[in-house]
Amino acid sequence: MRHLMLSAAGLALMAGAAKADDLTLQLKWVTQAQFAGYYVAQDQGFYEEEGVNVTILPGGPDIAPTQVLAGGGADVVVEWMPAALAARERGLPLVNIAQPFKSSGMMLTCLAETGITDPATDFAGKTLGVWFSGNEYPFLSWMNTLGLSTEGGPEGVTVLKQGFNVDPLLQKQAACISTMTYNEYGQVLDAGLTEDDLITFKYEDQGVATLEDGLYVLESTLEDSEKVTSLVRFVRASMRGWEWAAENPEEAARIVLENDETGAQTLEHQTRMMSEIALLLEGSDGTLDEADYQRTVDILLAGGSDPVISAAPEGAWVSTITDRAFD
């Protein structure tokens, strides 16, 4: 990940901050290394140096970041772009202000014994595990691209609504399940299966990758000049946190564990996760690449009679925050 350089104006902004501005960040999921950059920025004092006081709210299976944002429970949320654009089309004016993750970590992990070697020819007639609550959109777009119905039958796929675990694969309820490179794939290996037992299809390799883990606010937030200044400081400090985490994966994992009130995480798993997350950060300084955005939109529109979004969105992202943060 490109090293971040603070401009003279940025240093002056830091020095001139008389008091901390309060911001609340809603995470997409539970406390884990997927969000290490934010916990590191808090732990290492990067937010304090920028004059922002950030409250980090963990997510979970019953928490939808877009709903929290709509209800005023957060100023900024971590969300995947497919879910954000789908929500925007339904009337929630979400705007992407920064994009720390450059690459997608999403993939389907299949049992090799099923004989699946090529999604274009071998998915038909199979049961595939899929996450919902907004995480299904990349999968649905992929199936539309392959021309496969998600209503089952020999010419389509049967969709198993997958919980946030790997049980359907271990219990052979599905030929393939949704996994992230940095999380569930490791859980499958920890359960006793080997890499030889599995075959994986990364969305990146299949040409259907969409942007994940961007930072989103409501349009109205961007009309508040003081809030915009706070967001500039927040994004700059967060990217410092991400750079530090990528360079110090085990130390970042320890910081994550210190913030995990459930006690469910382990240092080994979180360190492995952070190492994989670092790969997804490569090539990003937090600025959204317009080509990556357009690829995501094109994939979501490529749905035949039932696309994830029906028209190219307008005003769904701005560079205002990152331009000021890193100029």
In whole angstroms, what is the distance from residue 52 CA to residue 41 CA? 11
Interval 175-198: pLDDT, tens: 999 999 999 999 999 999 999 999
CA atoms 81, 85, 90, 93: torsion sign: positive
Higher pLDDT, 22 or 305: 22
Interval 262-306: pLDDT, tens: 888 999 999 999 999 999 999 999 999 999 999 999 999 986 667
pLDDT at 3: 45
Residue 11 has pLDDT above 60, yes or no: no
Beta carbons of 280 and 36 less than 8 angstroms apart: no
Fold held by 106-202: D-Maltodextrin-Binding Protein; domain 2 (3.40.190)
Residue 309 has pLDDT above 80, yes or no: yes
Q: How many CB atoms lie within 10 A of CB 291?
A: 8
Identity at 67, one-letter amino acid code = Q
Q: Which long-range contacts (CB under 8 A, 24 or more apart) does 160-164 make?
A: 160/127, 160/128, 160/129, 160/130, 161/130, 161/132, 162/129, 162/130, 162/131, 163/61, 164/61, 164/131
Residue 14 has pLDDT above 70, yes or no: no
Q: Confidence band (pLDDT; 50, 70, 90) for 102?
A: very high
Q: Which of 36-40, 58-62, 215-219 has the lowest mean pLDDT?
A: 58-62
In whole angstroms, what is the distance from residue 319 CA to residue 296 CA? 17
In the chain, what are the domain boundaries?
8-103+211-326, 106-202
Beta carbons of 302 and 71 less than 8 angstroms apart: no
Report in angstroms the alpha-carbon separations of 208 from 8, 124, 201.
40, 18, 11
Beta carbons of 137 and 79 less than 8 angstroms apart: no
pLDDT at 313: 96
pTM for the predicted model, two decimal places: 0.91
Q: Which CATH architecture has domain 8-103+211-326?
A: 3-Layer(aba) Sandwich (3.40)
pLDDT at 304: 64
Q: What percent of the chain has pLDDT over 70?
A: 93
In whole angstroms, what is the distance from residue 292 CA to residue 201 CA? 20
In whole angstroms, what is the distance from residue 260 CA to residue 254 CA? 10
Identical fold at 8-103+211-326 and 106-202? yes
Q: Confidence band (pLDDT; 50, 70, 90) for 20?
A: low
Instruction: Supply the mean pLDDT for the chain.
Output: 92
Please list the alpha-helical segments (H only) found in the chain.
8-15, 36-43, 46-50, 65-70, 81-89, 119-122, 137-146, 167-170, 184-190, 225-247, 249-258, 267-281, 290-301, 320-326
User: What is the average per-residue pLDDT within 106-131?
Assistant: 97
Higher pLDDT, 182 or 9: 182
Higher pLDDT, 32 or 17: 32
Interval 54-88: pLDDT, tens: 999 999 999 999 999 999 999 999 999 999 999 99
Identity at 325, one-letter amino acid code = A
Token digits of residue 204: 């990146």
Report in angstroms the alpha-carbon separations of 163 from 24, 132, 193, 265.
28, 9, 19, 18
In whole angstroms, what is the distance from residue 66 CA to residue 79 CA? 8
pLDDT at 308: 87
Residue 109 has pLDDT above 80, yes or no: yes
Beta strand 52-57 with 21-26 is parallel
Residue 134 has pLDDT above 90, yes or no: no
Residue 15 has pLDDT above 50, yes or no: no
Residue 5 has pLDDT above 60, yes or no: no
User: What is the average per-residue pLDDT within 229-241?
Assistant: 98
pLDDT at 73: 97
pLDDT at 16: 37
In whole angstroms, what is the distance from residue 61 CA to residue 39 CA? 20
